[in-house]
Amino acid sequence: MRERTYDVAAFLARLGVGVVFIAHGWQKLEAGITATGRSFDDMGVPAPTFSAAYAAFAELLGGAALIAGIGLPVAGTLLFLDMAGALVFVHADNGLFLVDGTKVKNGYELVLVLGLASLVFALGGGGRLTLDTWLSGRRRRGDRDRDDFFEPGEQTVIEAIQAAERAETVPVSPAPELPAAPKKAPAAPPPPPRSAPEGRTVAEAATATEPRTAAEILDDDKLVAGRRRKRRSPSSTTQPIKRDHGGKPEKDDSSQ
């Protein structure tokens, strides 16, 4: 019961404050932003043209938002800043009362009440009779209807998409690196050039004939008339033949 009473009282408060704001905003627009800016300039308001446009639209649209109960945190904050500026730059030096006796003093009582009421609405004091509450309740009812439609264990489309996104974001372990191929051993350096023996040139050393072995001599026999002629070593008993001056062989006297 108390909650319903508070909701009704909050709605009436929003309605009254919203009507006042709409009236002041419409008054500024009807006079014109330029004329309102000149008036603000005479009262010492900084950036008078911008301040006039801000005040006119914030009061007109913000008042309508208060009555409808939509975007109350934003609308209440903008209206609170509007009234704070009016209090500081225009009404603070004129005292509390708007009218003192028969004299109009233009005090800050009205902007103070409107600003604090806007702050209350911005902080969640607008009650439940608002468009924000109706829209949020409709979303909750839609969620309940969706839960009743699907059987237990079934996934909704949104849940399936979220599961697919999570699967795509699973980190993949990098492939193991293959062992590096063994380095090729450097080629052996070429043998040093053959040096010639002392006293010979390189060409002479290359063409010089080395001493022959007995096996090489036997293999080097030549075929004569189909037979292999063996080389004979000179006999120790063979005597050299001596020749005379005429070319005839001389007899050896030692054999006689």
- What digits encode the pLDDT tens for the residues 199-208? 555 555 555 5
How far from chain centre, in Å, is Cα 165? Answer: 18
DSSP state string for 89-156? IIIGGG-S-SEETTEE---SHHHHHHHHHHHHHHTT-S-S-SHHHHHHHHHHHHHHHHHHHSPTTPPP
CA distances from 168 to 89, 116, 161, 176, 209 (A): 58, 51, 11, 22, 84
Look at 43 and 219; give whichever has higher pLDDT. 43
pLDDT tens for 92-150 read: 988 888 887 788 888 999 999 999 999 999 998 889 999 988 888 776 665 555 555 44
Residue that the structure tokens 């209440």 belong to: 76
CA distances from 42 to 6, 39, 45, 47 (A): 43, 5, 8, 12
pLDDT tens for 50-91 read: 999 999 999 999 999 999 999 999 999 999 999 999 999 999
Start-to-end CA span in the chain (Å): 176
Q: What pLDDT does residue 104 have?
A: 80
| Cα–Cα distance, 18 to 126 (Å, whole number) | 12
Asked if 2 and 124 count as a contact pair (C-beta separation under 8 A), the reply is: no
Q: What pLDDT does residue 224 have?
A: 44
Identify the band that residue 235 occupies on the pLDDT scale cut at 50, 70 and 90. Answer: very low
Within 10 Å of residue 100's Cβ, how many Cβ atoms? 12
**With DSSP H G I counted as helix, E B as strand and the rest as coil, what are the percentages for the chain, rounded to 5?**
55, 5, 40
| Cα–Cα distance, 52 to 59 (Å, whole number) | 11
| Cα–Cα distance, 11 to 5 (Å, whole number) | 10
Residue 237 tokens, joined: 């008993």
Average pLDDT on 139-168 reads 61
How far from chain centre, in Å, is Cα 142? Answer: 38
Q: What pLDDT does residue 71 have?
A: 93
CA distances from 148 to 139, 142, 152, 158, 163 (A): 14, 10, 9, 16, 21
Look at 229 and 105; give whichever has higher pLDDT. 105
